[in-house]
Structure 1
């Protein structure tokens, strides 16, 4: 017995358990930076998601992460599972440890504003949809409330604080997100990235909601 064989046995055991308590999910893997769920599913398999393996506690508000129970021998971090409880992406498959998954609740596109760099008198240089170039399109992501927000500079009586959001999403090779990149979701909301941390579990982003 070595680490590789032990890992395979663990994942096979997860699969046996999922056959008894899980539901059918489809596995997807991104082949480009656009619409990773539009391709043909790699397979359908039973899977279950829990907060602990004793199945003794439900998930809570503001918590996107779950432990996945399924046969992960053909999976890699960044893969998606779509089924009964929604869409999850595989954040981490650490050696001999439980499979760390993120439940998504939004479909997002990441864009970068392409400003006119010409010299001299130019056109309006503020950000508009026409100047936004897509980096990633149609990606499932988790967007949950972050801090309480910030008061704007005007501080008028009826002004509300600008909300901040915590965003988790898979990384795609060759694409690096940066401060001031734009995220738009299927609800029409616009977010401006304040910080983007690339981890071995994907992107962990802090973003401010902006007017559309």
Structure 2
């Protein structure tokens, strides 16, 4: 049996298992960086997700966004989203013969590119303003989970709390490169400043500090 036939059998097995134990999910495939799902769902598939344990013998834990997906892999691609009324996942990896790796999405984010504004006067000041930010990606479900314990506020007054850090996972989209100092916003109206953005074969892995408003 060659690799292609073996892979087809694996996908078929996943599909049959998902039909027995998994609910229906809408399959979305991003078509643009801005408003990526304007074309609507492209299919409806049964899918089941487990905590990287195909025996379904353990629950997921805090701070762990990755899952194994039982779904018909012949219908999905890396970067696709599976969503229903309860959960949204994106497909991070479909490596040959191995389980399909998915990421649980708990927030919807936008990626913005700040533009430094020049000031006037004896001591000019340049800073980021919302009006000068350019949208790179909008409306993308992503995993946004707490990172390290936080960073001290620059003013560091006695009553100040640390600025929290976050670990963010999201798919990549062709032609969009996320960089240090880019701004992220989410559906809770929080703002984050990107500290580092690593482009991997699983998508973007971002470390960001929550901005004070």
Q: Which bin holds the TM-score, normalised by the shorter protein? A: over 0.9
**1:73 is paired with a residue of what secondary structure?**
helix
User: Does residue 92 of structure 2 align to residue 75 of structure 1?
Assistant: no
Alignment CA distance shift 1:75-1:193 (3 Å):
same
1:138 Cα deviation from its structure 2 partner: 0.5
Alignment CA distance shift 1:172-1:121 (3 Å):
farther
| Contact persistence 2:172–2:203 (CA under 8 A) | yes
Alignment CA distance shift 1:7-1:121 (3 Å):
farther
The count of corresponding residues between Structure 1 and Structure 2 is 212
Alignment CA distance shift 1:77-1:121 (3 Å):
farther
Alignment CA distance shift 1:170-1:121 (3 Å):
farther
Q: Separation in 2 of the partners of 1:121 and 1:151?
A: 31
1:72 Cα deviation from its structure 2 partner: 1.0
TM-score, normalisation: structure 1: 0.94
Alignment CA distance shift 1:125-1:55 (3 Å):
same
1:124 Cα deviation from its structure 2 partner: 5.7
Q: Separation in 1 of the partners of 2:116 and 2:157?
A: 31
Q: Which residue does 2:140 correspond to in 1?
A: 139
User: Does residue 33 of structure 2 align to residue 19 of structure 1?
Assistant: no
| Contact persistence 2:31–2:37 (CA under 8 A) | no
Encode CA deviations 1:103-150: one digit per residue, 9 max, x unaligned: 0011100000122479x9998631111010000000001100000001
1:156 Cα deviation from its structure 2 partner: 1.6
Find runs of 4+ consecutive structure 1 residues off by over 4 angstroms: 120-124
Compute the RMSD of aligned alpha carbons.
Answer: 2.0
Q: Which residue does 2:30 correspond to in 1?
A: 30
Q: Which residue does 2:185 correspond to in 1?
A: 184
Q: Separation in 2 of the partners of 1:197 and 1:88?
A: 20
User: Does residue 46 of structure 2 align to residue 50 of structure 1?
Assistant: no
Encode CA deviations 1:150-185: one digit per residue, 9 max, x unaligned: 112332211111100000000000111100000000
**2:128 is paired with a residue of what secondary structure?**
coil
User: Does residue 9 of structure 2 align to residue 9 of structure 1?
Assistant: yes
Alignment CA distance shift 1:211-1:152 (3 Å):
closer
TM-score, normalisation: structure 2: 0.94
Q: Separation in 2 of the partners of 1:144 and 1:32?
A: 25
Alignment CA distance shift 1:109-1:122 (3 Å):
farther
| Contact persistence 2:46–2:71 (CA under 8 A) | yes
Q: Separation in 1 of the partners of 2:164 and 2:135?
A: 24
Q: Separation in 2 of the partners of 1:61 and 1:78?
A: 24
Q: Which residue does 2:98 correspond to in 1?
A: 97
Q: Which moved more, 1:1-10 or 1:29-38?
A: 29-38
